[in-house]
């Protein structure tokens, strides 16, 4: 299955605050916040939603096509890293004017996060056309439209509808930047819609659609619930509720959602049930949670299957093992 992953490609600056954000907030001063956090640690890592999803897919044996815009600084190291790990980087556009996007994130001891994102070259993603890419590679079985320049996201979904390409709508943090009309254009007609629980509510508020109305606009809706797992629905109701895979150690939650998407999409490629797809996603997400950095983990098939079996059962694990072999 040929999967194209569109979206952000970035450098992550990950910091740790040895306290709780909630303890720094004064209830009657929330309209005039001025805060500075002295952090204990700084990690500079490769990131970006599309790059993270693509890395996860490649870890599971697929060869995803990464589609996005970067700066010249991407070519020095990041491109070689992704190619070495099995990601097709031939559809990445390099800006002559801007640096690769930057993600700055501080995590407190409760795993709450405060973050900022500098778009940089990502803004030029709006000029990327999918049709020439599809013609060059021969076929695109699924296009992932993940957080990116909002104009690029809307353009990509419009192109998918025009070309008859199935797509996953993954609006993520860009829901905060998009208005209701833009969100409706992004979501309408999606094969899959994936958000976390907060984004789910925000999406419904911005579009004015009820939960049932959303399910008439997309084929399958996946809502991630953090440590509580995820729920999968379609127009007929709940398809499955999947528990999260337990972590061996909790290092940093950055990129956990991206890893879930990678695992879910790998399951789709392997033609697993939606429940099994979410189980694979949950297991990959746990790998990221156990590391600092979104692309610092390595999936070894035998270990992955054994951990999977301990959570979801031997029968389900055997089906995954056949695809990882």
Q: What is the mean pLDDT of each run of 10 residues along the chain (325 residues)?
A: 96 90 79 85 90 98 97 90 97 94 90 88 96 94 96 97 97 93 97 97 97 97 96 97 96 92 98 98 97 93 97 97 90
Catalytic residue among 219, 234, 258, 318: 258
d(C-alpha 265, C-alpha 105), whole Å: 26
d(C-alpha 125, C-alpha 237), whole Å: 36
Could you tell me if 8 and 122 are in contact, meaning their C-beta atoms sit under 8 angstroms apart?
Answer: yes
DSSP string across 91-126: EEEE-SS-PPEEEEEEE-TTS-EEEEEE-GGGGGGG
pLDDT value at position 265?
Answer: 98
pLDDT value at position 37?
Answer: 87
Helix (H, G, I), strand (E, B) or coil at 193: strand
Domain borders along the chain are 3-9+49-101+120-324
pLDDT value at position 85?
Answer: 97
pLDDT value at position 14?
Answer: 87
pLDDT value at position 23?
Answer: 87
Q: Is the pTM of this model over 0.85?
A: yes
Helix (H, G, I), strand (E, B) or coil at 72: helix
pLDDT value at position 76?
Answer: 79
pLDDT value at position 293?
Answer: 86
pLDDT value at position 27?
Answer: 74
Is residue 258 annotated as part of the catalytic site, yes or no?
yes
CATH T-level assignment (fold) for domain 3-9+49-101+120-324: 3.40.1190
pLDDT value at position 286?
Answer: 97
Could you tell me if 256 and 285 are in contact, meaning their C-beta atoms sit under 8 angstroms apart?
Answer: yes
Dihedral angle, C-alpha 214, 57, 108, 99, nearest 10 °: -100
Q: At what angle do helices 314-324 and 274-289 cross, to 10 degrees?
A: 80
């Amino acid at each position: 299955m040929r999967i194209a992953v569109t979206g952000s490609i970035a450098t992550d600056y990950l910091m740790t605050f040895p306290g709780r954000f909630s303890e720094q907030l004064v209830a009657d001063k929330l309209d005039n916040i001025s805060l500075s956090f002295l952090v204990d640690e700084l990690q500079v890592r490769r990131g970006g939603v599309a790059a993270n999803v693509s890395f996860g897919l490649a870890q599971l044996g697929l060869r995803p096509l990464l589609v996005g815009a970067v700066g010249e600084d991407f070519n020095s190291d990041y491109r070689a890293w992704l190619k070495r790990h099995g990601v097709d980087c031939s559809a990445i556009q390099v800006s002559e004017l801007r640096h690769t996007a930057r993600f700055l994130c501080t995590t407190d001891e409760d795993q709450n996060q405060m973050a900022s994102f500098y778009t940089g070259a990502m803004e030029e993603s709006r000029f990327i056309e999918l049709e020439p890419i599809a013609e060059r590679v021969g076929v695109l079985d699924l296009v992932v439209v993940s957080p990116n320049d909002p104009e690029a996201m809307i353009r990509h979904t419009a192109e998918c509808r025009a070309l008859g390409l199935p797509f996953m709508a993954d609006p993520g943090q860009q829901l905060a930047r998009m208005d209701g009309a833009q969100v409706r254009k992004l979501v309408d007609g999606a094969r899959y819609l994936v958000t976390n629980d907060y984004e789910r509510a925000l999406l419904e508020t911005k579009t004015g659609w009820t939960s049932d109305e959303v399910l008439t606009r997309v084929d399958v809706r996946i809502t991630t619930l953090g440590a509580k797992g995820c729920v999968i629905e379609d127009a007929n109701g709940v398809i499955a509720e999947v528990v999260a895979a337990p972590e061996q150690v909790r290092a940093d939650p950055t990129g956990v959602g991206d890893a879930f998407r990678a695992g879910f999409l790998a399951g789709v490629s392997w033609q697993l049930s939606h429940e099994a797809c979410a189980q694979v996603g949950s297991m990959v997400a746990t790998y990221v949670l156990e590391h600092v950095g979104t692309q610092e983990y390595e999936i070894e098939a035998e270990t992955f299957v054994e951990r999977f079996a301990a959570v979801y059962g031997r029968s389900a694990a055997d089906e995954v093992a056949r695809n990882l072999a």
